[in-house]
Amino acid sequence: MTTALRSFLSYVRYRGDITSDLAAAVPIVANWSLSSIPRAIGRDEVTHLLASIDRQTPIGCRDYAMILALARLGLRSSEVVTLELDDIDWVAGEIHVVGKNGQRNDLPLPADVGEAIADYLQKSRPRNASRRVFLRDKAPIRGFTGQCGLGSVIRRSLKRAGIDAPTKGTHQFRHGLASEMLRGGASLGEIGEVLGHRHVQTTAIYAKVNLNALRTLALPWPGEAQ
Q: Which of 55, 125, 171, 175 is catalytic?
A: 171
Q: Which of 55, 120, 175, 206 is catalytic?
A: 206
Q: Which of 55, 72, 125, 197 is catalytic?
A: 197
> Is 96 tagged catalytic?
no
Please say whether the beta carbons of 161 and 52 come within 8 A. Answer: yes
> Is 175 tagged catalytic?
no
Distance of alpha carbon 154 from alpha carbon 91, whole angstroms: 30
| DSSP H or E run through 104 | strand 104-108
Q: Please list the residues that pair with 88 across neighbouring strands.
A: 95
> Is 100 tagged catalytic?
yes
Nearest to 166 by CA among 36, 38, 34: 38
Q: Which of 72, 76, 136, 175 is catalytic?
A: 76
Please say whether the beta carbons of 191 and 178 come within 8 A. Answer: yes
> Is 197 tagged catalytic?
yes
Please say whether the beta carbons of 24 and 87 come within 8 A. Answer: no
Q: Which of 48, 100, 131, 156 is catalytic?
A: 100
Q: Mapping DSSP to helix (H, G, I), strand (E, B) and coil, where does residue 131 land?
A: coil
Q: Which of 55, 72, 174, 175 is catalytic?
A: 174
> Is 76 tagged catalytic?
yes
What positions carry a catalytic annotation?
Answer: 76, 100, 171, 174, 197, 206
